Chains A and B, each alone.
Chain A
Amino acid sequence: MAPRQTSIQKRVRAVILLASVVVLFVTAAAFVTYEAITFRTRLVRNLSTLASVIADNSAAPLAFKNKAVAEEILSALKAEPDIEAAVLFDDNGGVFATYPKALPPALLPRTLEGAGHHFRDGALILFQPVLQENKVVGSLYLRNSFQGLYAQLWRYAVIVLFVLLGAFGAALLLSSVLQSRISEPILALTQAARRITANRDYSIRVPKLTEDELGVLTDAFNRMLLETQENQARLGEQARLLDLSTDAIIVCDWQGTVLFWNNGAEELYGWSRSEAIGKRKHELLQTIFSEPLEEIAKILERAGRWAGELIQTRRDGAHMHVSTRWVRDPAPSNTPARILITDNDITLQKQAEDLMRSEAKRLDALVEQRTATLQETIGELEAFSYSISHDMRAPLRAMQGYAKALLSDYGSKLDAEAKHYLDRIFRAANRLDLLIQDVLAYSRVAKGEIELHPIDLERLIDDIVSANPEFHAPQARVVVEKPLHRMLGHDAYLTQCVTNLLSNAVKFVPDGVVPEIHIRTEAIDGQVRVWFEDNGIGIDPLHYERIFQIFGQVYPEKKYGGTGIGLAIVRKAAQRMNGEVGVESNVDGGSRFWLILKEVNYDNHESRVTPGRG
């Protein structure tokens, strides 16, 4: 037995002992009570049986007056020590024989009574008639003292006492064995709980000793420990995270009193944790709210969260912009609600925003100013280039005219070499003229206001083809897949576009190939796309953009001719008609130029469109 018993051991043992003793005591009491109650009945029955036997045996001695035999019969009562006296009366009521032989007169019955028994003077007294042939031949008197009853009860008491002592001892021994089965798992739990409370060591586990409810309890305890351990680890992690955060993380009660203040808050506001806790946050930081505090409280109550911007004052007096987010903590029902707050310094961000806004404004103004200057310069340049080009044609015509005149009037006087030089001058002049014409065309396209009308593209193409011999057989073949969609455009511009695209198509073909151009249209989303598909040399996708720039010719001019301005004019014209131009091609499979313009809409076909410049 352990020297110092814990209370659960004592209690379990006490329960076992108490139960044992109560059971034993009740059993013994019931037994003794039963004995006491039935003793008299049994005594009477035993004594009656004895009396019957003796009376029966006494009939003959009485009949033949044999006192000696009668006394001998009575002396058999020696076997019953509780029988104090026996008297045999003859039929006249005289004493015939007694037991013991020398019976004290006090034990003699005062009167001879009829058959029956009485409890009297601490003894059972019994009268039994002696019958022979149904006739009373005498009477037997027996006196049985209660000494036996008392002695037996006393014996029972002693036995019960010993049984109780023995059982108590046995229960004591058993209980020390049995209590350990219940108390050991509980003690293990208790010890573990003490150690955990003392050391906050949640890695402790309780060994499972039984498979019963205590085992289940132990398992549940261990599971809770595991969860607590995990929670502890998670809490530690979160606490470290909280301190890692540069944001201020603050917990307030519903009145705004600070309950928690992390490292971030210390750094952000300059108030230490011990200074901040217990103070009202908005008083400490002289908070300027963007909306009334009562409104915020209402939103928190309703939605559980609120976010906004605050202006607060650091400990050193500096004002700062703070982006804040508040969450009403769903606290357990019996504790008052709390507010979890994260504050994020956005002062720098605010300043940057302001700076950027003013800078953007400044830049906008600058851009506007520069654009205006540029526009002006462009206009001047365009006017300049137009007038230069225009003015250059007069001397160029003179060069052409005089070169021609020289060749025709003095051709016979010139040798072959001089003729060759003249021819080069004449061709160069022609080329320069073409160039100037194109530059003029480009300049025309690029300036001035135009009006868009519905255009009959089929008629326009027919006119162009019939006016230009190089576009029809045998030099080339132009196939128009009629009908073509009608579109909004400008006659002159569109003629320029189509002519330039067809010129390109017939120009850039491999040697010995007859150029073939397919023209078709498709409607897409209120627009019309015109396709020009040729069987030419095609264009490398690398050059798709370049070919639409002025002098963006890809191939050496010697081979194919051209000024390198044609596609630039097409793009410009397309842009002036609010359209687009583009190309798709394979190097081997020819090119597919496209032109997108507005589809004719009868509601607005008369509307004036003012295209932008450039």
Chain B
Amino acid sequence: MVICISFVIAPASAQVSKEYQLKAVFLWRLAQFTEWPSDAFERADSPIVICVLGENPFDGALNAAVEGETAHGRKMTIQQHRVIEQARSCHILYIAGAGPRQARALTASLGNRSVLTVRDVDGPASAYDTMVSFITEQNRIKLLINPKAAMAARLVLDPRLLRSAEIIGE
């Protein structure tokens, strides 16, 4: 099934905002606090693939952030995808600029694949669509985590991560 995504085109700016620089760091650091099942990797030294679906808000910041970093001993690579079908072998999927319904559809299409899904939200109410949500409050970026969704995807989240984030769920 091909899901079409309409992207919100962000205003082009030469300088990536400070907010996304921070989010880029948070995004790769999530890899350090997440454990994937072993079948999520083809080989022992396969890199962790961090994908951005849709319009890339990080520009080069994400590439710069992962430069020289490792998670669980693995290197990290950044991929840019347009459609969800391309993103099925990703380990972390940042869904950029999608509305709640769209996001829900995208994550649903991934089924039980071990892909940690991340997106930006405005408030806690819309944080259920992905496993991790970034929310900006008073100039600070907070994490919202839906552990049930992660668990369903056989992802194990570090308790320290859970402690440093806000937990959502019933």
Contact = CB atoms under 8 A, between A and B. Distances in A.
Interface of A: 56-57, 59-61, 63-66, 69, 132-133, 135
A59 B33 CA distance: 10
A63 B163 contact: no
Contact of A65 (B33, B71, B141, B160): B141
A64 B165 contact: yes
Interface string B61-96: 000000001111100000000000000000000000
A63 B32 CA distance: 10
Interface in B142-170: 142-143, 158, 160-161, 163-165
22 contacts: A57-B163, A59-B160, A60-B33, A60-B158, A60-B160, A60-B161, A60-B163, A60-B164, A61-B164, A63-B29, A63-B32, A63-B164, A64-B26, A64-B29, A64-B165, A65-B22, A65-B140, A66-B165, A132-B32, A133-B69, A133-B73, A135-B69
A64 B70 CA distance: 16
Contacts of A61: 160, 163-164
Given A63-B32, A69-B163, 11 more contacts: A60-B158, A60-B164, A63-B33, A64-B29, A64-B161, A64-B165, A65-B140, A66-B164, A66-B165, A133-B72, A133-B73
Give the interface SS of chain B, mostly helix, strand, loop or mixed: mixed
B32 A64 contact: no
Contact of A133 (B71, B142, B164, B165): B71
A270 B94 CA distance: 151
Contact of A69 (B32, B69, B164): B164
A292 B63 CA distance: 145
Contacts of B163: 57, 60-61, 69
Interface string B22-35: 10001001001100
A275 to B, nearest CB: 123
Nearest to B70: A133
A61 B163 CA distance: 8
A138 to B, nearest CB: 13
Interface of B: 22, 26, 29, 32-33, 69-73, 140-143, 158, 160-161, 163-165
Contacts of B158: 60
Nearest to A63: B29
B69 A64 contact: no
A219 B140 CA distance: 101
Nearest to B33: A60
Contacts of A66: 142, 164-165
A406 B29 CA distance: 212
B164 to A, nearest CB: 4
Contacts of A135: 69
Contacts of B71: 133
A73 to B, nearest CB: 8
B29 to A, nearest CB: 5
A135 B33 CA distance: 14
A64 B164 CA distance: 7
B127 to A, nearest CB: 16
Nearest to A60: B160
Contacts of A60: 33, 158, 160-161, 163-164
Nearest to B166: A66
Nearest to A68: B164
Contacts of B165: 64, 66
A549 B6 CA distance: 200
Contacts of B72: 133
Nearest to A61: B164
Contacts of B140: 65
A132 B129 CA distance: 29
B70 A57 contact: no
A378 to B, nearest CB: 170
A64 to B, nearest CB: 5
Contacts of B161: 60, 64
Nearest to A135: B69
Q: Which of B73, B143, B163 has the most CB of A within 10 A?
A: B163
B115 to A, nearest CB: 20
A59 B161 CA distance: 9
Contacts of B69: 133, 135
Closest 9 CB pairs of A and B: A60-B160, A60-B164, A66-B164, A63-B29, A64-B164, A61-B164, A69-B164, A60-B161, A133-B70
